[in-house]
């Protein structure tokens, strides 16, 4: 009983120690935003844009009215993080609304439908007879717009056509949900409405389908079957600024090429050590053939994970809580999911990619060859300890209000940073391990090159696949899956560059604090884990003790 009381009191004290002046405000904002997003569930509607803009502007105005100079060090960090976040939300809402305004005429017929959805929120009983007549009329209006579509100018991009179709589909989804609310619970509604709804639903779907194809001959599919949405240079610059990356896309591509050249030199050394001379791709092929039998592979993954954790503890490089070691577990990735995730996924659960019975022989071989022990030794710890599992474990316990400011530059950058550190500490046991670690490092360089060039309009998805195959040495199916994941998955346009760029930020910060002797290594790593997720430039202010200006913008030239 005494132990329980002590644990509760300790947790309370820890919570209070982390409660900065803005923690409550940030947590309240998250709750408010979540409530409004659930209420205004159609993100392609005037009411959604109006209400979300109002919410973010209200919080930004309130924040800017506070006395910044009276805040503690952590309070000032929260201020800059929250201000940057709200400004990013407002900027993105503005861009999204501008795009929506260009196509919103496609739902001009929808005023009465939107009113029906609004009334449903408070369960207002409809007049089914009048509603049936209205929906029949709206369906006729939709059909009339569809007939006129052929004679109207086409959209100048397939993305705009897709947005127009999505606006119609989102409206149809909202109406359908409201229809299901009344159907079978209101007898008169159930008698009147099925036929008008069936007609309206069919008209909306037909119209949306036609809109999606109503664009000029811009390339939508380059033959790869991968359909992404390149955002352009202006949007890239805006996103880099909000991520506190003080570099242009072109500068980051140049850095990736520089890092790639280093990898190639190291790969040649390993290749020569293995007896393949300068033919490093032959050495890579040999390493791929070291794969384990399917049934034996998961157990080896666990061994690799435990080895990495032991190295952390034996060298006292970072604090690893006992519960973090106890609670991670394994699962397998389905064949379908491996089409976009052909390698590990991590966190509290490390998800393992390996062949399944339904795969073709070629797919099975690619999966095993791409997940061989020497490739995986560099990435198992990336997913678990000291990587993503430890990150998530600590994020749930320290400065929890800062999870709002999550960024892949912190998340993926930290995990890849450890691959850098372990390379420096002779983690690779032999040349085969070096080939495996260098393969992944080259891959992270390639991600910067192909993803930024894609969003700049300089590379197609097929060219991105070819780059991974030709320059990195990927199996074709794995390369295709990586590109599909990059452009069709739920990843932001900067996600794939965040691995290498974030790692270089952490590595630069390490040189500034640890290598210079200003800070002990374990204290450096523990402090980072206890600050929660944020742009690394802001984290640097905490680690170095520098004071932040309330209007701080990206300025750290960590690559220089």
Q: Render pLDDT for 314-331 as a digit per residue (tens, 0 to 9).
A: 999 999 999 999 999 999
* Rounded Cα–Cα distance for residues 25 and 20 (Å): 10
- Model confidence at 7, pLDDT cuts 50, 70, 90, reads very low
Q: What is the mean pLDDT of residues 34-62?
A: 98
Q: What percent of the chain has pLDDT over 90?
A: 82
Residue indicated by tokens 């109006």: 50
Lowest mean pLDDT among 71-80, 350-359, 393-402, 435-444: 350-359
3-state DSSP assignment of residue 352: strand
Q: What is the mean pLDDT of residues 60-81?
A: 97
pLDDT greater than 70 at residue 105: yes
Per-residue pLDDT at 18: 61
Lowest mean pLDDT among 5-19, 207-221, 254-268, 534-548: 5-19
Residue 207, class by beta-carbon neighbours within 10 Å (0-12 exposed, 13-18 middle, 19+ buried)? buried
Q: Which long-range contacts (CB under 8 A, 24 or more apart) does 132-139 make?
A: 132/192, 132/193, 132/195, 132/196, 133/196, 135/193, 135/196, 135/197, 135/199, 135/200, 136/196, 136/199, 136/200, 138/109, 138/110, 138/112, 138/113, 138/200, 139/196, 139/199, 139/200, 139/202, 139/203
Per-residue pLDDT at 9: 40
Q: Which long-range contacts (CB under 8 A, 24 or more apart) does 486-493 make?
A: 486/228, 486/447, 486/450, 486/451, 486/454, 487/226, 487/227, 487/228, 487/229, 487/454, 487/461, 488/226, 488/227, 488/228, 488/340, 489/340, 492/239, 492/408, 493/231, 493/235, 493/236, 493/239, 493/451, 493/455
* Rounded Cα–Cα distance for residues 505 and 25 (Å): 29
Per-residue pLDDT at 477: 84
pLDDT greater than 80 at residue 5: no
pLDDT greater than 90 at residue 228: no
Per-residue pLDDT at 335: 87
Residue indicated by tokens 């197609």: 460
Per-residue pLDDT at 22: 97
Buried b (16+ CB within 10 A) or exposed e, 243-278: bbbbbebeebbebbeebbeebeebbbebbeebebee
Per-residue pLDDT at 435: 96
Per-residue pLDDT at 8: 43
pTM of the model: 0.90
* Of 377 and 201, the one with more pLDDT: 201
Q: If you average pLDDT over every residue of the chain, what do you get?
A: 93
Per-residue pLDDT at 485: 83
pLDDT greater than 90 at residue 227: no
Per-residue pLDDT at 1: 47
pLDDT greater than 90 at residue 220: no
* Of 15 and 250, the one with more pLDDT: 250
């Amino acid at each position: 009983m005494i132990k329980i009381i002590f644990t509760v009191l300790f947790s309370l004290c820890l919570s209070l120690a982390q409660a900065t002046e803005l923690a409550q405000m940030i947590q309240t904002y998250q709750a408010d935003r979540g409530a409004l997003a659930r209420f205004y569930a159609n993100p392609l509607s005037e009411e959604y844009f109006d209400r979300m803009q109002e919410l973010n502007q209200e919080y930004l105005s309130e924040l800017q009215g506070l006395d910044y100079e009276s805040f503690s060090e952590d309070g000032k960090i929260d201020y800059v993080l929250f201000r940057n976040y709200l400004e990013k939300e407002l900027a993105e809402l503005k861009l999204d609304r501008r795009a929506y305004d260009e196509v919103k005429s496609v739902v001009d017929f929808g005023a009465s439908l939107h009113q029906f959805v609004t009334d449903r929120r408070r369960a207002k009983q409809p007049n089914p007879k009048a509603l049936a007549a209205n929906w029949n009329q709206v369906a006729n209006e939709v059909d009339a717009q569809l007939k006129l579509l052929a004679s109207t100018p086409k959209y100048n991009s397939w993305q705009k056509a897709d947005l127009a179709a999505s606006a119609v589909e989102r409206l149809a989804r909202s109406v359908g949900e409201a229809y299901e609310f009344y159907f079978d619970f209101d007898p008169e509604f159930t008698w009147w409405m099925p036929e008008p709804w069936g007609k309206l639903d069919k008209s909306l779907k037909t119209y949306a389908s036609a809109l999606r194809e109503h664009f000029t001959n811009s390339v939508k599919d380059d033959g790869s079957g991968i359909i992404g949405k390149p955002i352009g240079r202006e949007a890239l610059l805006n996103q880099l600024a909000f991520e506190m990356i003080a570099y242009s896309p072109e500068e980051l591509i140049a850095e990736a090429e520089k890092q790639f050249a280093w990898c190639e030199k190291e790969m040649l050394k390993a290749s020569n050590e293995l007896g393949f001379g300068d033919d490093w791709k032959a050495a890579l092929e040999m390493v791929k053939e070291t794969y384990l039998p399917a049934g034996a592979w998961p157990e080896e993954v666990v061994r690799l994970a435990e080895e990495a954790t032991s190295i952390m503890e034996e060298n006292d490089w970072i604090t690893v809580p006992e519960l973090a070691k106890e609670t991670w577990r394994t699962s397998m990735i389905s064949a379908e999911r491996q089409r976009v995730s052909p390698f590990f996924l991590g966190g509290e659960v490390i998800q393992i990619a390996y062949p399944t019975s339904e795969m073709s022989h070629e797919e099975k071989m690619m999966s095993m060859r791409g997940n061989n022990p020497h490739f995986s030794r560099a990435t198992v710890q990336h997913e678990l300890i000291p990587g993503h599992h430890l990150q998530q474990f600590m994020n749930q316990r320290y400065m929890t209000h800062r999870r709002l400011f999550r960024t892949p530059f912190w998340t993926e950058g930290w995990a890849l940073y450890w691959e850098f550190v372990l390379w420096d500490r002779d983690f690779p046991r032999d040349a085969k391990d070096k080939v495996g670690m260098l393969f992944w490092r080259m891959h992270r360089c390639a991600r910067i090159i192909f993803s930024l060039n894609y969003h700049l309009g300089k590379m197609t998805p097929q060219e991105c696949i070819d780059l991974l195959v030709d320059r990195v040495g990927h199996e074709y199916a794995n390369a295709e899956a990586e590109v599909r994941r990059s452009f069709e998955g739920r990843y932001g346009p900067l996600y794939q560059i965040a691995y290498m760029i974030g790692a270089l930020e952490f590595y630069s910060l390490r040189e500034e604090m640890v290598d210079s002797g200003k800070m002990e290594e374990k204290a450096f790593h523990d402090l980072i884990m206890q600050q929660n997720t944020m742009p690394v430039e802001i984290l640097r202010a905490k680690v170095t003790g520098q004071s932040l200006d309330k209007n701080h913008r990206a300025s750290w030239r960590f690559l220089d």
